[in-house]
Amino acid sequence: MKRLALALSLLLTASAHTASAAPEASPAAAPSDAAPSDATPRAAKPQRKPNAKRQADAKQRPNAKRQAGAKKARAPDPHAKGRQAAVEALVRRAKSAKLADDLMWRRLLRYRGTLFGGVRSEADGKHFFLAADGKTNPEAELEATLRAFFDPHWSSPISDLEHPYCRFPARLAWLNARLGFDFSQLPRRECPRFQEFVLRLDADALVLVFSSYYLNNPASAFGHTFLRVNKRHRGGARGGVELLDYGIDYAAIADTSNALIYGIRGLTGLFPGVFSQIPYYVKVREYNDYESRDLWEYELDLSRAELSMVIAHLWEMGFNHFDYFYLSENCSYHILGLLEVASPRLNLLSRVGWPVIPADTVKAAYHQPGLVRRVHYRPSNRSQFHARLDSLTSDERDVLARLMADASAPFPAEYDEARQAKVLDVALDLFDFQLARDLVRAPGEEGDRIGAERKHQLLERRAALLIESEEHVMDPPLSKMPHRGHGSTRLGLGSGYQTERGYQHRLNLRLALHDLADPSAGYPDFAAIEFLPLELRYQVENPSVSLEHLSLVKITSLSPLGRFQGGWSWALNVGARRTYDAGCDGCLSGVLQFGAGFAVAPFGDALTTWVLADARLLAPVDRDGLFDWLRAGIGPTGGLRLRLTEDLALLGAGELSYLPAQEPHFTWRGDGTLRWQLVRDFALSLEGSLSPESRSAHAMSLMYF
């Protein structure tokens, strides 16, 4: 660690006198291969018109300055032999020690084993490798890196790409720690851009941030993780100062807003993914305020040397991109890969499976011994409003309702200034929540003018009171900490009986994530997000295996109506399922189903009920349907969930479909589940189903991992 810290400190101090200078030009590369985006490009020089006479004279007249420079360039380097001997010795020692097989070298270059026994780097930026076959040859890349570090005349096909000495500080630090460089033989290079990058981040600690689930954006339906770099605070507490820190995000550079195209390209790695540095207040405004997502901040316990390695490797990532895969090489995966570079003691990526779910990466970090120092909760606008609303009496809520309708509504005579301020503060919180979309509107785009005017009136009334707001400290909902949730993948085994088919054994598997009957700890109360759930049934009396249902994605998003909030609830199912009615008894059909409506939760998550207007298409249909193969239906769907305890839930759901110009004209289905969580990752479930041509009941054991 001492040698590692020495190498990094030499990089930073080599050009200390340039710390306040403007940074060098960014590498002339494609956007996905560019250096960190905050680098200042070199200004272009004005072009002079060609002059034939001047060009002819230039050919005839010798240029003394150019000739002197040429002679100087051809002058022998007095240190060349020493450098050559030093680098050859280092290459021999590296091969002897098999450093190319070292865990940390593999992590720095993002090498992963292949099915055929070799390795291949996940990095896809063409400027990330110095050897021609560096992507698949760790030893060649290590040797090329050593030689490039000691080559004062190293050049790149891209003229303004930085010397490897400055481009790969984490590699330099680690190789020095293992080999012990003679720094007098290294070409002294100034690295002002790297130094400016480090000084700007001014890192004192790292925080892993989990942004809760947001079903209105496909990219965030499973949550999101990113890093925050805590700056060194200049004395005193950090309260509020963290908004001036930097967020470190990894995300796809998407060039489409079409959800279908985004999904296809995101699943197949057709977007480049890059790291970026964004002021933390921007991330808070986006997630906390606009999207009403709670943030959970996990402060990491890293030594100074470990922290420096992460920052140095983050700089290296600025010259690289990865092909972005929504289910594997996503935001959470590469954030963990960045953290693993800190030290071989960290073992994070091996703790997550496929698909890579953001909440699972938080669990991996939390359960890594000695990594998480503390957890902090940053509530969203919505959560803060509801916490303040709970502090109001019934009478004060009536006053709040009048203020929301008429900002000039008078207070009751018995309200003193403190009570008026309390209600006004809650009203302003509600406006902040309702007008959150205005935070991200483009310049010139019209927002909610009437709402903004009412908020302005309330602000004027609040300012006139001249008393401080009552401090409201919101206790974190400990049961919703993401690391406390059940495993995202679920395997179910069970047995039961179905009319007309007899006794059955069931196997169901879900790759991710959570349904409305699952244990609620660590997950949203009113959302079900399932990726690739399937169920197989084995008929005991007539031995055979059948597929009961399979969904590509199945989502239910409930937004309970309340006095001060509203919103659409909706559900989506894309997949296949068996139907049991007179028109299609036991046939397996593809299904596309969508519904929207309303939900109510009068007692929080203890009792939830919903009704949706639903439309569905099934194809192909074995029997009667439109065009003999398509079944189209419309009608209501609904459900009720009673959460008896945090570990015990009763769920009922049903649907009624009108089938125009088809037989039968109506069909229906009902399902019920009683689920009891015994431990975090194990539950028992009793499940039943009713339909016109079938009745079934099964007992299941569910394992989460």
Report whether pLDDT(30) > 50: no
Rounded to an integer, what distance in angstroms lies between the CA atom of residue 545 and that of residue 550?
Answer: 14
Whether 210 contacts 224, CB under 8 Å: yes
Pair (177, 216) in one structural domain: no
Rounded to an integer, what distance in angstroms lies between the CA atom of residue 424 and that of residue 678?
Answer: 45
Report whether pLDDT(28) > 90: no
Query: Residue range 325-348: average pLDDT?
Result: 95
Domain boundary among the residues 137, 166, 190 is at 190
Taking only the tens place, the pLDDT of each residue in 634-680 is: 999 999 999 999 899 999 999 999 998 888 889 999 999 999 999 99
Taking only the tens place, the pLDDT of each residue in 191-228 is: 899 999 999 999 999 999 999 988 777 667 889 999 99
Taking only the tens place, the pLDDT of each residue in 31-86 is: 333 333 333 333 333 334 444 444 444 444 444 444 444 434 445 666 677 788 88
Helix (H, G, I), strand (E, B) or coil at 585: coil
DSSP class of residue 43 equals P
Any domain includes 396 = yes
Any domain includes 54 = no
Query: Residue range 8-37: average pLDDT?
Result: 38
Pair (227, 268) in one structural domain: yes
Task: Name the band, by pLDDT with cuts 50, 70 and 90, for residue 129.
Answer: very high
Taking only the tens place, the pLDDT of each residue in 375-395 is: 999 999 889 998 999 999 999
Q: Which residue has the higher pLDDT, 185 or 101?
A: 101
Pair (181, 131) in one structural domain: yes
Any domain includes 496 = yes
Pair (100, 120) in one structural domain: yes
Which range marks the domain in which residue 590 is found?
484-704
Pair (207, 336) in one structural domain: yes
Task: Name the band, by pLDDT with cuts 50, 70 and 90, for residue 293.
Answer: very high
Residues 6+ apart with CB under 8 A from 477: 377
CB atoms within 10 A of CB 436: 18
> What percent of the chain has pLDDT above 90?
63
Taking only the tens place, the pLDDT of each residue in 558-579 is: 999 988 887 899 999 999 999 9
pLDDT given for residue 462 in this prediction: 92
Helix (H, G, I), strand (E, B) or coil at 635: strand
Query: Residue range 468-490: average pLDDT?
Result: 90
Domain boundary among the residues 138, 162, 190 is at 190
pLDDT given for residue 56 in this prediction: 40
Pair (506, 638) in one structural domain: yes
Helix (H, G, I), strand (E, B) or coil at 188: coil
Any domain includes 444 = yes
Domain boundary among the residues 146, 168, 190 is at 190
Give the chain's mean pLDDT.
85
Pair (595, 518) in one structural domain: yes
Any domain includes 321 = yes
Residues 6+ apart with CB under 8 A from 103: 344
Any domain includes 530 = yes
Any domain includes 660 = yes
Whether 484 contacts 443, CB under 8 Å: no
Pair (443, 425) in one structural domain: yes
Pair (399, 509) in one structural domain: no
pLDDT given for residue 33 in this prediction: 35
Q: What is the CATH number of the domain that holds 527?
A: 2.40.160.40
Helix (H, G, I), strand (E, B) or coil at 96: helix
Pair (581, 442) in one structural domain: no
Q: Which residue has the higher pLDDT, 625 or 695?
A: 695
pLDDT given for residue 113 in this prediction: 93
pLDDT given for residue 58 in this prediction: 41
The number of domains in the chain is: 4
Taking only the tens place, the pLDDT of each residue in 96-122 is: 999 999 999 999 999 999 988 899 999
Pair (134, 93) in one structural domain: yes
Whether 462 contacts 668, CB under 8 Å: no
Task: Name the band, by pLDDT with cuts 50, 70 and 90, for residue 448.
Answer: low
